[in-house]
A and B are shown apart, each in its own frame.
Chain A
Amino acid sequence: MDAGMKKFVSARLQAQVAGSHPAPELLAAYAENSLSARDRHSLLTHLAACNDCRDALYLSMPEVDTQPVLRPSYKSPHLAVRWATLAASVVILGAVLLTNREMFYRHPQSIQPYSAAPPEKIAELKEPLRDRSAETRSPAIQAANKVLPPFKHMTAKPQASMQFDQSGEVHFASAQAANSAKQISGARVASDEMAVAKDKKAASPVSWNLSPNGDVQRSLDLGKTWQNLPVAGAPFRAITAVGDDIWVGGNAGALYHSADAGQSWTKIDPVSAEDITRIEFSDSQNGLLNTANGRIWSTSDGGRTWHSK
């Protein structure tokens, strides 16, 4: 902000009329995230205009450990996904390079100088092929069990009708085998489509919230309507959802978890006797919670154990 504008805005903020000061317990309840939305709004309105109350609020907030914690990446799931994607790419690239190196080393060994093999050797080599062609009773199983050579060595993409044996030789499969390969391919496409549908279903707009009374609420229509879910231990003060995993926390350290989108709930052993004011999970295993005394607890095993930061 320009210096001039900053001064103008500051002057006008300073000139605001604050009204009577709130009771200390309201400031304390605000700092502990335990005010209702209405009380919070009216308190913030006062705080925006009252220098003394802002000072009191900032001074009365408990000190927390200022050691760097993983909050930024934790707080930003998109950033975490980006980093995870980058890490996965590096791992895949590394694996591909390693495989290639191995093949490059192996490739010269596999190139044998051409020499005419004796007729009996050729017959011996052809024998197993005949045996395998006789075992085509279950082409689907055979197709699934075959070991494909690395594609890097091929000048053309493999076709559905091609079959490979352990020696790396290419054989053209019978029409039946080709059909079964197509069936497998079709089945894979169908299963992929089902997975996408399942993903779409999973990504349906389910929203979670706490009512002003501290009850757990679920919305299936982007927050237009909410339904209360009965959860023992209500009222709650904090809620978070990661996929089907829902976590709620409340007074005196009450902490509940649902792994099936709210169908059933499990009480977690108390992390702390203090009120839980905030919960956040970056995935089903890693999460943080804040207690009213300003402490931060973290878990990396889906809430089985918690450690103070």
Chain B
Amino acid sequence: MVELYRRSRAEEFGITAPAFAEMLDQGAAKSIPESPKPQKQDFFNRLHVEDLALARACAAGNERAWQVFMLRFREKLYDAGRQITRDDATGRELADSVYADLYGTQTREGRRQSKLYSYGGRGSLGGWLRTVLAQEYINHYRKHRRLVSLDRECEEGAQFPAVAVAEITSVDERLERAVDEALRSLPAEDRFVLASYFLDERTLAEIARALSVHESTISRKVEKLTKNLKKQIVKLLIKMGMSRRQAEEALDADTRDLRLDIRTSLAQDPAKAAFSNRGAKAGE
């Protein structure tokens, strides 16, 4: 613990050793409750203690800590904002709004409510800030853009667009069950690859970076997965009483037969913020 305290440079920001130890214990209690001492020590060793001490000192309003924070992360935050929004002005606006949350514009019981209190040191502070920016962008900017005003729609010539009506189902329920079962049998990583590739239409390079593997590995994985998935679904459908021909025809069914219009489904409800405080707290 002494070594961690020294490494964290928490003393520079006025955090005492007992306060630092308490900070770590709180993090462990939240992330790995009721774990034996060696496991806790390992958890502490893996923490980015320097970033954690800086974040907590900033959250507590330490001037020196804020100077260091601004020096280390100000430009990075703006760069990340620009990269996420792909627009200079929007990127700065996004970064500024996150700054306000980091500083804490609201107070509770005389204490400023800084978002930095929720940082626990498991990833780097830089990575955490990028994720917070991305979540903020998803919650606010991107969804806000989908709410195009009626005036603007009129200006753009898209007056009174027809309301999308969900297709009435004619899909064999056995097909849905077979697909669900086949998907459930896949490892989480494979489902992530399928969702990224087919639902999100991410490139192979993007998926490869997310999984820290080479692009060609993902290419081979997608090919193999789709082949095996089809085999598995057909096998399950046959097991459920269809002939092979029926099973293959069911899979090749016209997209009009689909219960869901995928594109409509993908456009999520803009009124519901994905990373609301409640959601974030639940996940912490």
Contact = CB atoms under 8 A, between A and B. Distances in A.
B130 A62 contact: yes
Contacts of A26: 122-123, 283
Contact of A59 (B84, B253, B259, B274): B84
What class of interface size applies to chain A in its complex with B?
35 or more
A25 B123 contact: yes
Nearest to B278: A20
A71 B258 CA distance: 41
Nearest to B282: A20
A62 B191 CA distance: 23
Contacts of B175: 8
B148 to A, nearest CB: 20
Interface string B140-163: 000000000000000000000000
A7 interface: yes
Contact of A9 (B179, B192, B217): B179
A71 B200 CA distance: 25
B179 A29 contact: no
Contacts of A140: none
A100 to B, nearest CB: 40
A149 B88 CA distance: 74
What class of interface size applies to chain B in its complex with A?
35 or more
A54 B196 contact: yes
A13 B260 contact: no
A4 B252 contact: yes
The 7 nearest A-B residue pairs measured at CB: A28-B123, A28-B127, A52-B274, A29-B123, A48-B191, A59-B134, A20-B282
Interface of B: 42, 45-46, 48, 80, 83-84, 118-124, 126-128, 130-135, 137-138, 175-176, 179-180, 183, 188-189, 191-192, 194-196, 198-200, 202, 206, 209-210, 212, 214-217, 226, 229-230, 233, 251-255, 258-260, 262, 265-266, 268, 274-275, 279-280, 282-284
Given A25-B127, A29-B123, A75-B214, 9 more contacts: A3-B255, A14-B199, A20-B279, A24-B275, A25-B118, A25-B119, A51-B199, A59-B134, A76-B216
7 contacts: A12-B176, A28-B127, A29-B127, A31-B127, A34-B123, A51-B268, A54-B195
